[in-house]
Amino acid sequence: MSARVCFLTSADMMKDRPGAREDWIEFELEFGALKRGCEAEGMTLDHRIWDSGFDPSGFDAFMIGTVWDYPPKLAAFLETIETLNTHAPVYNPPHVVRWNIEKRYLADLADAGAPSIPTVWAGAADEPSIRPAFEALDADSLVVKPLVGGGAWRQAVVKRGEALPPAGDLPPGACLIQPFLPSVPEEGEYSFLFFGGRFSHALQKVPKSGDYRVQSIFGAREIVHEPRPGELDQCRAVLDAAAQITGEAGLLYARVDMVRGLDGQLAVMELEIIEPYLYPEQGPDMGAVFAAALKDRL
């Protein structure tokens, strides 16, 4: 009997549902590529909305996919994946998700030697927390991000001497503060995709003119990137550090996001190992690489 795998997504990624996200097409592109790869390996991939109360019986594994509405429902999301993991393995595993879901994991990676961006950790995104960060980071522009979130949700740029954005545009609680990197609007961000520890493909995400956000929903574009000498070694060092911290080597999927720091060297912006978009359009063999890694686990 072939393995039956469940790809978890969110209701707002369904194009025909009220409140569908503008980037719903990314679910269809990603799921379609993964499904074709699984079918070629004799496996079945079906999708389910993670918080719909679906019947988990009959699935041999669960993959956390485009579940992009979870930040405001964090407790329910974590409870759901723990419950699913009692029926069949969840990838990536719940304990890895718990480690990666708060951006404090970046401090763990920095402590392990990963090339990192200077960061101030604050209990709230307010005046007393943000103003001292200009001096601490020796920067005139800062980026303030929530500890849990993605897709630039509740993320803001703050400039020295200017009023803070409205509270509703800032992180809702604890946050991290980093210097605004001029390379991001100019050069963008590099993403490197790995499945089971095997490199699949890489891309450069370039923001639209006048913006710094690298998500397609904000007008950014993606370009295939051929890794330069040493870049994959940097990425693997990040993955090795994560393996040492979590005890999980060769994660089913991982996306290492890198940006050029103030020193001109690449540094980790994010290690996406919960629900990253996998950019199938820039990786035509992505489905096959993923399916091979999944089959190894099943």
Least trusted range by pLDDT, from 65-69, 262-266, 284-288: 262-266
Is 270 a residue whose pLDDT tops 90?
A: yes
Q: What is the average per-residue pLDDT within 144-164?
A: 84
Higher pLDDT, 187 or 210: 187
Q: What is the pLDDT of residue 213?
A: 82
The radius of gyration computed from the CA coordinates of the chain, to the nearest angstrom, equals 19
Q: What percent of the chain has pLDDT over 70?
A: 99
Asked if 97 and 143 touch (Cβ cutoff 8 Å), the reply is: no
Q: How far is CA 24 from the centre of its chain?
A: 16
Instruction: Return the structure tokens found at 235.
Output: 């990425």
Domain residue ranges of the chain, discontinuous segments joined by +:
4-91, 101-115+184-297, 120-180
Q: Pick the closest to residue 283 from 30, 92, 44 (CA basis).
A: 30
Q: What is the pLDDT of residue 210?
A: 85
Q: What is the average per-residue pLDDT within 37-41?
A: 97
CA distance readout (Å), 193 to 38, 202, 249, 256: 18, 6, 15, 7
pLDDT band at 167 (very low <50, low <70, confident <90, very high): confident
- Give the 3-state secondary structure of residue 182: coil
Q: What is the pLDDT of residue 169?
A: 83
Q: What is the pLDDT of residue 97?
A: 97
Is 98 a residue whose pLDDT tops 60?
A: yes
Mean pLDDT for all residues in the chain? 93
Residue type, 148: V
Least trusted range by pLDDT, from 129-138, 141-150, 190-199: 141-150
Residue type, 114: A
CATH topology of domain 101-115+184-297: D-amino Acid Aminotransferase; Chain A, domain 1 (3.30.470)
Question: Residue 275 belongs to what H/E stretch?
Answer: none
Q: What is the pLDDT of residue 246?
A: 96
All residues at 6 or more sequence positions from 250 whose CB lies less than 8 Å from its CB, including other chains: 196, 197, 243, 293
All residues at 6 or more sequence positions from 118 whose CB lies less than 8 Å from its CB, including other chains: 137, 178, 179
Is 1 a residue whose pLDDT tops 70?
A: no
Residue type, 46: D
All residues at 6 or more sequence positions from 149 whose CB lies less than 8 Å from its CB, including other chains: 71, 155, 171
CA distance readout (Å), 205 to 25, 137, 213: 17, 26, 9
Is 108 a residue whose pLDDT tops 60?
A: yes
Question: Residue 190 belongs to what H/E stretch?
Answer: strand 189-195
